[in-house]
Amino acid sequence: MKKWVEMGLTLSAAALVIVSFLTLDAKLTPELLPQAQPVEKGGYIKWAEFDVPDSAMKKAMKLDIESCEEPLHLDWLEMLGYLGAKYGGEWKRYKAKDMDALVQRLRGGESMSALTADMKYYDYYHEVYQTVLGEFVGYYDMERESDVLPGETFVETQYGLKVFSPIASGYSYSHYDDFGTSRSYGYSRPHLGNDLVGSIGTPIVAVEGGTIEHMGWNQYGGWRIGILSFDKKRYYYYAHLRQKHPYHLGLEEGMAVNAGDVIGYLGMTGYSTKEGANNMTVPHLHLGMQLIFDDSQIEGNGEIWIDMYDIVSFLSQKKSKTVKDEATKDYNRIYQIYDPDYQDYITAEEGGASPPGESEAHS
């Protein structure tokens, strides 16, 4: 069975690790970390969590973007890694002034390598945050509407956030931090994702570009789709899609999609052995992210799923604008993004299929 029990897990050791950790005292100290976090067993990370607050991510990213062309480029993931190690992973201790103090020291001439030399777990936190967020910020080309010629667009090179909210622009949703809460349909297990409650038919877009690994029906997730990032470090799981017309037409397993492409539509399918059944009580998108530090973690007891609540909040600052095609009843993105990772993948794949809604000029 491949990843399709709600978040794609059986009640494996990976799930049990998460559940047992959630029951621990939230006030973990750095001294307890060696027991709580297997860092260097077998040469790769065996367990990780992500609880960096939205506010810290936004502040660190802003500093990174503003300094991208300065002699001292403030790397947002290095700064988050430093603070993660400083707090012993306990981000409830976060204060913006701590990041300000770090920036002041860096701009004062101290190097990150010197500042972290005695931090035993800096490498661990930096690698975890790099795996989660490493492809979120960078250079890319993006279509935008001309300020001078109405209706005309042009392509502009930008440095910044190159991933998108899973909910298309113009559509509302609500969510709360429900990671780890119990689920009982079929068997008892923790909820390993974030539920975004919205209206049936809301266009769902790819957070990040990647390849479609799985599509189709499962009694737990209903109509669902799984996308693996191009660097093969993040697996995104989108579940409970619409009963009829759940996916953007033309999508199939093995196809590459770009960040911000419409991939499906919000619904309430699942929790039934009958294919296509609407057995969820509330329409919502179940969104999950699996981290992959080693191929052995792709499936089975080593799977690592993280809390996406703050990530979803962070992504809300960038949404893909869409328009409905009355002939197909599908929604397509209006403005294209040209991410080097996607372009490199398509170039490398002979006859690689273009994502839905992309113009022939950029296929």
Question: Contact at 8 Å (CB) between 267 and 240?
Answer: yes
Q: Does residue 1 carry a pLDDT above 60?
A: no
Give the end-to-end CA distance of the chain in Å, rounded to a whole number: 35
Alpha helix (H) ranges present in 116-216? 122-133
* pTM (two decimals): 0.86
Instruction: Check residue 216 and give left, alpha or beta (phi > 0: left; psi -120 to 50: alpha).
Output: left
Higher pLDDT, 227 or 41: 227
Which residues are 287's β-sheet partners?
Answer: 194, 238
Residues 6 or more apart from 117 whose CB is under 8 A from it?
Answer: none
Which residues are 228's β-sheet partners?
Answer: 211, 235
Cα distances from 96 to residues 60, 79, 282, 295, 307, in angstroms, run 10, 12, 37, 37, 22
Strand spans (E) along the chain: 137-145, 153-161, 182-183, 189-190, 194-197, 203-205, 210-218, 222-229, 234-239, 256-257, 262-265, 284-291, 304-306, 322-325, 330-333, 337-338
Higher pLDDT, 329 or 16: 329
- Supply the pLDDT for residue 185: 80
Of 10-19, 223-232, 243-252, 290-299, which range is least confident? Answer: 10-19
pLDDT, one tens digit per residue, over 305-356 is 999 999 999 999 999 999 999 999 999 999 999 999 999 999 888 554 444 4
Of 12-26, 88-102, 268-282, 327-341, which range is least confident? Answer: 12-26
pLDDT, one tens digit per residue, over 121-154 is 999 999 999 999 999 999 999 999 888 888 789 9
- Supply the pLDDT for residue 350: 55
Which residues are 211's β-sheet partners?
Answer: 228, 256
Helices 54-66 + 96-107 axis angle, to 10: 20
- Supply the pLDDT for residue 2: 46
Dist CA 245 CA 240 (whole Å): 12
- Supply the pLDDT for residue 18: 36
pLDDT, one tens digit per residue, over 105-124 is 999 999 999 999 999 999 99
Dist CA 187 CA 174 (whole Å): 27
Closest CA to 341 of 233, 237, 248: 233
Cα distances from 166 to residues 9, 37, 193, 199, 256, in angstroms, run 22, 30, 13, 14, 17
Got the DSSP string for 82-118? HHHHHTTT-GGG--HHHHHHHHHHHHTT--HHHHTTT
- Supply the pLDDT for residue 189: 78
Q: Does residue 39 carry a pLDDT above 70?
A: no
Q: What type of residue is 298?
A: I
- Supply the pLDDT for residue 359: 32
Question: Contact at 8 Å (CB) between 30 and 88?
Answer: yes
Query: Once rounded to an integer, what is the mean pLDDT over residues 187-206?
Result: 93
- Supply the pLDDT for residue 148: 85
Q: What mean pLDDT, rounded, does the chain reach?
A: 87
